[in-house]
């Protein structure tokens, strides 16, 4: 008998400790039997739901606090994830449902439901829950802020894209105007200075014949003729830079060959040019031809001024994917990440984009420079 009293005393003490533990918890805790009836609930949980513990114990918890979704649509018992703990014998953690208070209001809840076992037999479930209304409100506010920021970023990106496209169109228009102005200036120089230099040269030659008996004057006239010829050659180079005549009359491929010949004559660079007959017989649109010519002209100018190269090659090949034009030198090369955004390179790339092409540069210190311009059949 004394042993039984001792056992009961020990059991009562353990139960008091368990009750103290449950009451000290800040979150709600309750247990249910296999019928879903509450077998215990702590004070924090009952208060969170608007009840006293005695009002909850013995009642079906699904129909009391978990009967509906947040929109008040019915939540069937067979869909209740709390009951799944003892029905399926596994735990459930949920943070996207609501629990209902005594006054008919609901709150966002986070709960965990785990089966209670007695010798491997499931006899019920224990549920812990907490009110996460504040957290959900903050999450919704953050989501709203995130959505608003994303909308602003998208709107700003669209504005920047539109502005960028406008700048590209403006750059293309300015390039066209610049070429037109160059052609206009070249025609004026050719018509005015060209005729004047030719007349001056004819007059000097006539005067030289008239003064054949005067050697000192002959020598002076020879020097004047040399100066006149030098001025005519300089004018011809200026005209060619402004608007290469051969480009308008013979096309791009002949103009590139002439450009390389002039570069070799002026600089001493060994220049090579490759243009197969099946490419040479094709003509690009006028705007594309002048753009390609200016890109190659800029690349060759960079080779002459900065590359310290011994040779340079230009090749143009037409294939099924369009035109591939390559410029390669054996110079000192350069570090591309440092020079990728220079105005010269940006200008060449914009010229290429304006005609639907793409310009790629490949270089490294000591490895020369390789430039590849690609035009699709549609753009070429």
Judge contact between 157 and 342, C-beta under 8 A.
no
Between CA 109 and CA 157 the distance in angstroms is 39
Residue ranges in the chain assigned as alpha helix (H)? 2-24, 43-49, 53-56, 61-65, 84-87, 133-189, 195-210, 215-242, 245-250, 252-267, 277-280, 286-302, 336-339, 343-354
Domain boundaries, given as residue ranges, for the chain: 2-131, 134-243, 245-380
Could you tell me the two tokens for 156?
């700003």
**Environment class of 173 (CB within 10 Å of its CB; exposed 0-12, middle 13-18, buried 19+):** exposed
Topology of domain 2-131, per CATH?
A: Beta-Lactamase (3.30.450)
Between CA 67 and CA 56 the distance in angstroms is 15
338, pLDDT greater than 80: no
231-249: average pLDDT: 81
Say whether 245-380 and 2-131 share the same fold. Answer: no
Q: Give the architecture (CATH level 2) of 245-380.
A: 2-Layer Sandwich (3.30)
15, pLDDT greater than 60: no
202-217: average pLDDT: 80
pLDDT (tens digit per residue) in 295-325: 999 999 989 988 889 999 999 999 888 899 9
Rg (CA), the chain: 45
Q: Answer with the residue of higher pLDDT: 24 or 66.
A: 66
Mean per-residue pLDDT over the chain, rounded? 85
Residue ranges in 268-307 assigned as alpha helix (H)? 277-280, 286-302
Q: Provide the whole-model pTM.
A: 0.56
56, pLDDT greater than 70: yes
How many CB atoms are closer than 10 A to CB 308?
12
pLDDT (tens digit per residue) in 124-142: 999 999 999 999 999 999 9
State the pLDDT confidence band at 147, using cuts at 50, 70 and 90. very high
145-157: average pLDDT: 92
């Amino acid at each position: 008998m004394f042993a039984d009293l001792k056992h009961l005393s020990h059991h009562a003490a353990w139960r008091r400790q368990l009750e103290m533990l449950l009451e000290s918890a800040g979150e709600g805790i309750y247990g249910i039997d296999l019928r879903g009836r509450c077998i215990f609930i702590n004070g924090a949980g009952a208060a969170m739901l608007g009840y006293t513990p005695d009002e909850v114990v013995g009642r079906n918890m699904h129909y009391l606090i978990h009967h509906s979704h947040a929109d008040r649509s019915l939540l069937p018992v067979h869909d209740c994830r709390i009951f799944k703990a003892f029905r399926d014998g596994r735990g459930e953690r949920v943070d996207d449902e609501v629990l209902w208070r005594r006054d008919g209001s609901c709150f966002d809840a986070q709960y965990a439901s785990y089966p209670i076992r007695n010798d491997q037999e499931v006899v019920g479930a224990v549920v812990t829950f907490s009110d996460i209304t504040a957290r959900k409100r903050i999450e919704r506010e953050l989501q709203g802020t995130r959505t608003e920021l994303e909308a602003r970023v998208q709107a700003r990106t669209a504005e920047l894209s539109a502005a960028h496209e406008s700048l590209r169109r403006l750059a293309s228009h300015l390039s066209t105007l610049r070429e037109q102005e160059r052609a206009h200036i070249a025609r004026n120089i050719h018509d005015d200075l060209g005729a004047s230099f030719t007349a001056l040269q004819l007059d000097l030659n006539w005067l030289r014949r008239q003064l054949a008996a005067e050697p000192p004057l002959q020598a002076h006239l020879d020097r004047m003729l040399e100066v006149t010829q030098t001025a005519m050659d300089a004018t011809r180079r200026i005209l060619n830079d402004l608007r290469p005549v051969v480009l308008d009359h013979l096309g791009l491929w002949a103009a590139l060959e002439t450009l390389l010949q002039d570069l070799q004559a002026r600089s001493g660079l060994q220049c090579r040019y490759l243009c197969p007959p099946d490419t040479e017989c094709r003509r690009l649109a006028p705007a594309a031809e002048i753009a390609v010519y200016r890109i190659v002209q800029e690349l060759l100018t960079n080779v002459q001024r900065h590359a310290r190269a011994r040779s340079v090659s230009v090749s143009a090949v037409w294939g099924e994917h369009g035109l591939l034009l390559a410029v390669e030198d054996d110079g000192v090369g350069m570090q591309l990440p440092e020079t990728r955004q220079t105005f010269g390179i940006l200008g060449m790339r914009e010229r290429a984009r304006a005609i639907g092409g793409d310009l790629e540069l490949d270089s490294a210190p000591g490895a020369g420079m390789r430039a590849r311009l690609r035009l699709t059949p549609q753009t070429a």
